Amino acid sequence: MVKVSIKAPRFDPSAEKVIIIEWKKREGEYVKKDEELVEMMGEKSTFMYVSPCSGKIVKIIVSEGEVNVGEIIGEIECYE
């Protein structure tokens, strides 16, 4: 098992912040690689962040609201 930090992505090259709208999974739930994980909004559009691996959500650090690009918002224990 490897613990992976989920960071707020830079969806728009000029954006420094994104807004977390909703997590599609909760702490303790399992997720598959490429499964929808977090709905976010940039300056111009809404997008879905997908899981980088199959595993379990061990921690949600920021559940909703505005965050800086690159900020850690959660952690997954990957089983791949």
Spell out the domains of the chain, with CATH numbers in brackets: 2-78 (2.40.50.100)
The pLDDT score that the predictor gives to residue 13 is: 79
- C-alpha to C-alpha distances, 19 to 8, 10, 36, nearest whole angstrom: 9, 11, 16
Nearest to 80 by CA among 60, 53, 59: 53
Residue 47, CB-side half-sphere exposure with 13 Å CA sphere: 12
Tokens of 27: 């702490």
What is the pLDDT tens value at each position of the chain, 80 positions in all?
899 999 999 877 778 899 999 999 999 999 999 999 999 998 878 999 999 999 999 999 999 999 999 999 999 999 96
